[in-house]
Chains A and B, each alone.
Chain A
Amino acid sequence: MVDVLVIGGGNAALCAALMAREAGASVLMLEAAPREWRGGNSPHVRNLRCMHEAPQDVLVEAYPEEEFWQDLLKVTGGKTDERLARLVIRASSTCRDWMRKHGVRFQPSLSGALHTARTNAFFMGGGKALVNAYYRSAQTLGVQVRYETPVDHIELRAGRFVAAHAGPLRFEARACVLAAGGFESNREWLREAWGRNARGEWPADNFLIRGSRFNRGTLLKHLIDSGADAIGDPTQAHMVAIDARAPHYDGGICTRIDCVSLGVVVNRDAQRFYDEGEDFWPKRYAIWGRLVAQQPGQIAWSIIDAKAVGRFMPPVFPGTQADSLPELARQLGLDEASFMHTLDAYNAACRPGTFDHTVLDDCATAGLAPAKTHWALPLDTPPFYGYALKPGVTFTYLGLKTDEHAAVHFNGVPSDNLFVAGEMMAGNVLGQGYTAGVGMSIGTAFGRIAGTSAARAAMKETAHG
């Protein structure tokens, strides 16, 4: 029997497996995906949010605990456990050396996202390089890994882990870490959670999943059904507006549409529905998925003109291009009269100002609802471009309630040998909202804690015979 069984194969699972192994435990990891798709959403990540009191290797200036905490408080609207959140924040300042020891490499932010060089450490080569490094280190240390082994249920005895089942296979262990991600690729669950809207639509049917198809939430559901304490709301998820042509799964970062703040966004009725210039795109990025999800048909179009070209991250698919706005409306299949009404009203409402897309400038609309409060330039320079947007789910927030030892709780009682890490418990810290890089901060902190706790639980059991 192994000491520690780790279920999942992404960042949180790998951190747990490495820590448990370093603590002397024998470790077996069960990953649902085949080798080439291993790692869940983690191969898609780019960076890690890190607290630091002074400039530190790839991080510039300072990002003190209090500022990180305030940022988290703001995005979550208070839906966070301060004790666990502060634990994550502090751990984020010290984990990088351990990560480096296991082969993870960081790089200075070179382009496109310079403002994040203060708060976030970027992985050289992104998350896939990180996942590869951890797997190599795990192999060197003698962690056993089984791919294509989706666990479907767990045997529990009075709040204690006994064994995990994957089809006909049964895996016993002295302790277990659950790190099997969220449930964003469980289409039925998303459909059930989002329900049916007043228009009779099932909004979730039009969602695209930005990450892994293997995060089906099987274990999350199973544990909640088995009496584990849950936290969070199944409709809460990190959702961004992405190119409607993105693949159903694993579209990752490149399908983002970055030009929203430079133009206008209209829905299927050719109406604007939100202030596109509210704030810088990264800050507003995560609200547009939900905004689009609330529109008819869960679709919208970002419209820009030639002046915007070269001022935003290049899109992965070419936009629909036209030499006039009416022609663009026709090409996009939008009602020409309504579209022109919206665009003419917008263009007429733009007040002269000094345009600068690198600061919150003074180009705003007057007398328009909804207003566009920054970067409001008339769309008047052909060619015009349109990009269709759909909601892209990054990950879900519903998870298992836990404490500072990462224990799974049953009716408020912590289990002695069942632990949880990563997206399966991120909701404790991140009840809603999102701030870039905090998913990895949570997964790394709690993955490491869960691994240590599981090793300790397993050793204790061995010692007691």
Chain B
Amino acid sequence: MAESRVIPIVPLSAARAEVERVLTICNACRYCEGFCAVFPAMTRRLSFPAADVDYLANLCHNCGACLHACQYAPPHEFAVNVPQAMARVRGDTYADHAWPPALGALYKRNGLVLSTALAAGLALFLVLAVIKQGSLWQPAVGGNFYAVFPHGLMVGLFAPVFLFVVFALAMAVRSFWRGVSPGAASAPAVEEAARDALRLSYLDGGHGEGCNERDDGYTLARRRFHHFTFYGFALCFAATCVATLYHYLFGWQAPYGLTSLPKLLGIVGGVSLVVGTVGLGWLNLTRHPSQGDAAQRPMDRGFILLLFLTAASGLVLMLVRTTPALPLALCVHLGSVMALFLTLPYGKFAHGVFRGAALLKWAIEKRRPHSVVMGE
């Protein structure tokens, strides 16, 4: 194992050193091997250099099961808290692999960055609206958004931001991927990783009853609210894509009717996103205090809040589209969306990309022979 390592051995940061310490204890214990992929991946190793730590930390779903089940959890002198140690390293990996590297520091001041982005996004659209129309309170004929913001202007604002987001995240995950290179991805490995990501397999507790939130009892709440959030987001995104196709391919201009595909996708997605983010926010507030990394709560909450605002303002917009409140509602919605997009590569959203990559690494790795073979 060690011989094939091409990555230089770098000194571990404090957070990574703590994961190394904790995993050394876990590797000698292994009682938690049924909970998630982290433990079987761990047993393929005898030591934990930085790249492996980053990989395992991102494979951890922060489900909390291995804290409540740990015989060495505080107040034991070994003070093992895997989810917390992993969460801290995850925070570091997002920052360390961010692109451009200078912006990695944004993770550390995420709360401030989010609020600034939100304020700036809102201000941008409010100002534009006033310039364009001179008023924020007036009926727009038939709920026509383009009367407030022409289609070309919106595309001109959002398309570059979107492309930047995709590029920045791709660069970040590329840097992460280079850490531990388990080999090439086969189709079954990709399939398995995709399935595990889309189903959140590792939030099922290994027994299907879910993971831990406020105490040692199992609950599927987080898995479900995460599904609402993720699939809600996906539906909203799909709504935008379909609308774009309508516009460019068929020349069908918005606004679309209530029963049109973009509208239906948007409404279902928006409601789902609201349900999901409210749930995740509530879980975040009520979680057992020793779970996760308290320092990252502002980032988690900021992201949840922006997602909620985006979805909720979108729904409000739909409700008020024939009233004089349309321009204002549109500004609030577009401002939230802009803030969300601007901060995607430097906030909690990145966890999905890194986790997906870690799941793929695991799906590849588990198909390779074990290099550590214990006797009976």
Contacts and interface: CB of A to CB of B under 8 A. Distances in A.
Do A and B originate from a single complex? yes
Interface of A: 36-37, 43-44, 46, 105, 107-108, 110-112, 115, 122-129, 132, 136, 247, 250, 252-256, 258, 261-262, 280-282, 309-316, 357-358
Nearest to B1: A310
A111 B43 contact: yes
Interface string B116-153: 00000000000000000000000000000000000000
A219 to B, nearest CB: 24
Contacts of A312: 374-375
Nearest to B76: A250
What are the 10 A-B residue pairs with the smallest beta carbon separation, nearest first?
A126-B31, A125-B69, A107-B34, A254-B28, A357-B375, A316-B28, A129-B69, A132-B216, A254-B29, A124-B34
10 contacts: A43-B71, A111-B374, A124-B206, A125-B66, A129-B69, A252-B71, A310-B371, A312-B374, A316-B24, A358-B373
Nearest to B375: A357
Interface string B184-208: 0000000000000000000000110
Interface string B340-376: 0000000000000000000000000000000111111
Given A44-B71, A111-B43, A358 B216 contact: no
Contact of A126 (B25, B32, B78): B32
B72 interface: yes
Contacts of B76: 250
B70 interface: yes
A134 B105 CA distance: 46
Contacts of A44: 71
Contacts of B209: 105
Contact of A314 (B28, B33, B72, B371): B28
A313 B68 contact: no
Contacts of A311: 373-375
A440 B33 CA distance: 20
Contact of A253 (B24, B29, B216): B29
A260 B141 CA distance: 84
B71 A358 contact: no
Contacts of A252: 29, 71-72
Given A254-B28, A314-B28, A112 B34 contact: no
Given A126-B69, A127-B71, A129-B69, A111 B373 contact: no
Contact of A36 (B34, B35, B72, B75): B75
Contacts of A37: 75
B289 interface: no
Nearest to B206: A124
Nearest to B65: A125
B40 A111 contact: yes
A125 B375 contact: no
A125 B46 contact: no
Interface of B: 1, 24-25, 27-35, 39-40, 43, 46, 65-66, 68-72, 75-78, 206-207, 209, 216-217, 371-376
Contacts of A132: 68-69, 216
Contacts of A115: 376
Nearest to B218: A103
Nearest to B80: A254
A111 B38 CA distance: 13
Contacts, number: 116
A191 B225 CA distance: 57
A126 B35 CA distance: 11
A220 B285 CA distance: 46
A136 B71 contact: no
A358 B376 contact: yes
A127 B73 CA distance: 13
Contact of A124 (B24, B30, B40, B207): B207
Contacts of B43: 110-112
A247 B75 CA distance: 13
A358 B32 contact: no
B41 to A, nearest CB: 11
Nearest to A243: B28
Contacts of B217: 136
Contacts of B374: 111-112, 258, 311-313
A101 B54 CA distance: 38
A126 B28 contact: no
A125 B34 contact: yes
B35 A124 contact: yes
Given A108-B34, A112-B30, A253-B71, 19 more contacts: A105-B209, A111-B374, A124-B35, A124-B207, A125-B31, A125-B69, A127-B71, A132-B69, A252-B72, A253-B28, A280-B376, A281-B376, A311-B374, A311-B375, A312-B375, A313-B374, A314-B24, A314-B27, A316-B29
Contacts of A105: 34, 206-207, 209
Contact of A254 (B1, B40, B72, B373): B72
B72 A282 contact: no
Contact of B40 (A110, A123, A253, A255): A110
Contacts of A310: 1, 46, 371-373
Counting chain B CB atoms within 10 Å of each CB, the highest count among A123, A280, A310 belongs to A310
Given A309-B46, A310-B372, A250 B28 contact: no
B75 to A, nearest CB: 6
A253 B76 CA distance: 14
B375 A107 contact: no
B375 A254 contact: no
A37 B74 CA distance: 10
Contacts of B29: 126, 252-254, 316
